[in-house]
Structures are given as structure tokens and as C-alpha cells.
Amino acid sequence: MENISAHGIPNIKRAQYPSRRLLWVFAFLVSFSVCVWQVTLLVSAYISWQITTNLEVRVATTLIFPAVTICNLNGMKLSYLLETPELRSSLYNQAMEQDDQFMEWTSSNLESREGYFDMISAVTETLAKMPYEDREYAGHRITSSMLSCNFNGYPCVPANFTFSYNYLYGNCYTFNGLDNTISNTSYAGPLYGLTLEMNIQQDEYISDIQPAAGLRILIHDQSEMPFPEDQGVTVSPGKETSIGIHRTEFERLPSPYPSDCSDSSVHTLFSELFSQLTYSKPACLKDCIYYKTYDHCKCYLPKYTFDPSVTPLCTADNPTQEQCMLEAEQRIAEGSFTCDCPPACKEVSYTTTTSSSSWPNLNYMPTVIDKIEDTPYLSTSNDTESFISLNFAKVNVYYENLQYDTVQQVPTYTLLSLVSNIGGHLGLWIGMSALTFLEFLECFYDIVKNVFAAFVRREKTKISKKTKVGDKTNRVTFQSDAFS
């Protein structure tokens, strides 16, 4: 006890009076108990895998410009519908069933689903049976929709856009995607972003499918599959819409930390089509719904089917399959079908600020007319100015500033910090250091050695006594034999 450097223990041995010795024993036990309590809390916090989120605002001289996906709100052109009599007849019948559905409010069937969903399903099922590369023909193509394109003041062309098909909006085109050379920007403001002038072609709209007119714009990272049906900004014709963006980068921790993020190596049905895509939670959820529906209904959802050879497709014409799809949607909403879709470990998101103004103004109208006078855009209208206001829209996508946020998760306790904090409490409460443990080991070694030595001496003493008793017995026996 005198040789141990921990506070309090040597004083127990050195105390000359019993009362003082009891006082040191009590003080050491109290400090030791508090130390054990504090260390237990530290270990509990460490094994609970707590995380700390750090937010940092950084300033860059150059930022990667995001991918910009643009879709027409009208998923299928009227001219294509007229070429498909079977689909046209189906949509016409469903539109007739939908007419006056809510005119008689007291007798409305609240259990029946809106006919709009059936129309979307009919279009989706028709296109799902087509090869993926042929679906572009059914919708609004960028070669006939884009009036002008500029990025950083330099012109861009349809070849700078990548095609993708969306079941709700039809043809979507992505600028600055992974299929193209990734562009950067060194300046903020509308003059140094992407500027588009688009014709939405209202004369090609199918009124029963899409009652609104405009464009759907989605800002996303290059490696993510765009889902404009879930996110995005709607742009109206006859306006110039400015979309200011701000970049945020996320870094999350994998299991066993609570965020339990997933890395980019996880594949979904979208990454099978576009190999350059990485993991994202929305893509994982849609992939899960796709295969959960197949497991439940034994047919594939047409809105996420990109290969026409995949059969059978779930169709609204089949009452059994339609009811099964509704049950699957309900079970997913209730949580009966669980989807293991954690967030991505590394993710980039963009927040947007949207504003708009009337476009074109009266003095700029002749310029727009000059741009389109030699194109077929005006072939269906005599009122040129009204036609432009109803069909043309301008979009500006740009960085509001060259600052970006980084949100990084770090472990609250690492093994090094745990050891350091435990060492701090040991030093505070009982004055122990790492070398003190060697002293305890040395003390334990001495105790074991002394106990073993005492045991050996005891055994030797027993053997010695037995030897002496045996010698005495032998002498007595010898004397008796000799006397006899």
C-alpha cells in the first residue's frame, strides 16, 4: 500500500490512529465510487454510438454546376395519341366516366379513385411496352422545344442534354449530367448560369391528362436519378423564372452509428439502366416498391419498367391486379412492407429560391418573333404575341453566391477520446495514471509470489515433520527388534 502512487491508498497505511485511517478509507471509497460512476457514463455513451453534427460554411472560387433536369408537364403529345387508336379510345372512355363525378356532392362515391390516375396508368402501360429509346418519340423532344440555350454566356445545344423517361412527365432532359462533360462556374448571378428559352407546345397538350401548362425543373447532383414527380419547380409560360440555388454537402456515418448510411455501391433498378448513377434514398424506395409489388401481385409496375421484355406488367384493365396494386400501396403506406433505405453516406442537395417576371416585355417581343419566324412554331396561330405568351417560357438557373454548406457527422466519442476522458476522471478522483496500473500489477505479482512461497514453505514443513516422525518410528522399531 505504501508503494502505490494512487491518492489515498498510501495514507491508509501511514495513518497512526484508527480514526484517521477510517477517514482515509471512507474518502478513498467515495472518490472511487464517483470515478466508477463517471467512467460507466463514458463507456455507456461510447457504446451508444452518439454522433455530433458539424455545420461549416465555406467559400469557393469555383463550384461544380448542378445537373438541371427539365420536363414538359404534358407527358404525351396529342399528335402521338392520335396515332394510337387503342389508347385514344381508352382515354376517351375514362374521360367520359370522370365527367360530372363531383357534381352531385351528396351522392358522390368517395370510395372510387379519381379517373386521372387511370389515365396516367393507361399512358404508362402503353409506353412501358415500348423499347426505352423509342419512348422519346411519344413526348415533347428538346430539338423541337428549345428556342435558345446559354451557359456562362456561351451557347449550348441539344447534344448537351441527356434523355431520361419519366412516367408522369414523359421526356425529361438533363443538362450537365454525367454523360456530358461536367461544367463549373466561377461567378454567381443569372448571367453566369444556365439560361433557357423553351416552347411548351400547348397545341400538343392532352387536356384530360394535364390541365396545367408549363415546365418542370429539377436541380440535383449529377450522380442522382432525377424524380421530378417528387421534387422540382414548376415554370409557367409567358414568364421569366429565376431559380437561385445554394449547395449543401452531407457526410454521414455508417453503421453502427444511428444514421446507418449506405454507400454508393448499392444498386437499384435505375442504376442498372444508368450505370453512372450512385445510391440515393429516393431511388432505393422506388426500387423497393417495385419489387415489393411484384412479390405481392406477381406483376411489375409499368411506371418503373424500362425493359419491354419484363413481363407480366400490372395493368388497370385487370381488376385483380389493380386491386392488388392498391393493396400494395396501402401496405407500404401503413408500414406493413418495410423498405431498408438508409440515407446516402455522401450526398449533395440544392435549395432553391424562385422568382418570376412577365416575359417577354413589349420591346423584346419583336426579338422573340424574329427568332421564331422561320420555324414551324407559328404555324398554328395568327395572333403572334398571344401565341408567344401562351407557349414560351424563359428559365434562369444560377448560384446565388459561391458559398456552400458542409454538414458532417463525426463520432461524439472515439476510442482515443474515451481513453483520454477515463484517464482524466481517474486522475481527478483517485490520482491514477497509466503507470499506476503497473504498480497494481506489480503488487498483485508480489502477493501471488508471496502466497505461493508461503504455500511451498508450508508443504516443505509438512514433509519435514513427516520425515522426523518416520525416523523416530524406525528407531523405536529397531530397538524393540534388538531387545527381542
Residues recorded for the chain: 484
Q: Which three cell numbers stand for residue 65?
A: 454546376
Q: Which three cell numbers stand for residue 145?
A: 422545344
Reported as type and span, the H/E element at residue 241 is strand 239-251
Q: Which domains does the chain have, with CATH numbers?
A: 9-49+414-483 (1.10.287.770), 58-103+111-256+356-411 (2.60.470.10), 262-341 (1.10.287)
Q: How far is CA 286 from the centre of its chain?
A: 13
Question: What is the SS3 assignment for 88?
Answer: helix
Instruction: Judge residue 211's burial from the number of C-beta atoms within 10 Å of its C-beta, 0-12 exposed, 13-18 middle, 19 or more buried.
Output: exposed
Compute the half-sphere exposure of residue 328: CA atoms within 13 Å on the CB side of its CA. 23
**Contact call for residues 281 and 344 (beta carbons, < 8 A):** yes
According to DSSP, residue 124 is labeled H
> Distance (Å, rounded) from C-alpha 438 to C-alpha 429?
19
Nearest to 223 by CA among 265, 185, 255: 265
Question: What is the SS3 assignment for 290?
Answer: helix
What is 118-155 written as a DSSP string?
Answer: HHHHHHHHHHHTS-GGGGGGGS--HHHHEEEEEETTEE
What is 146-205 written as a DSSP string?
Answer: EEEEEETTEE--GGGEEEEEETTTEEEEEET-TTSPPPEES--SGGGSEEEEEE--GGG-
**Contact call for residues 405 and 56 (beta carbons, < 8 A):** yes
pTM, full prediction: 0.80
Beta sheet of 215-220, edge-to-edge order: 161-166, 170-175, 67-72, 215-220, 233-235
The residue to which cell 418495410 is assigned: 338
How do the pLDDT tens digits run along the chain, 484 residues long? 777 777 777 777 777 788 888 888 888 888 888 889 988 988 888 888 888 999 999 999 999 999 999 999 999 998 888 888 777 776 766 655 555 555 566 655 555 556 667 778 888 888 888 888 889 999 999 998 998 999 998 999 999 999 999 999 999 999 998 777 788 999 999 999 999 999 999 989 987 788 889 999 999 999 899 999 999 999 999 999 999 999 999 999 998 888 889 887 778 888 878 878 888 999 998 998 899 889 889 999 898 888 888 888 888 778 888 888 888 878 877 877 788 889 999 999 999 999 999 999 888 888 888 877 766 655 555 678 888 889 999 999 999 999 999 999 999 888 888 888 888 888 888 777 777 777 778 788 888 989 998 988 888 887 777 676 666 555 555 455 555 5
Question: What is the SS3 assignment for 280?
Answer: coil
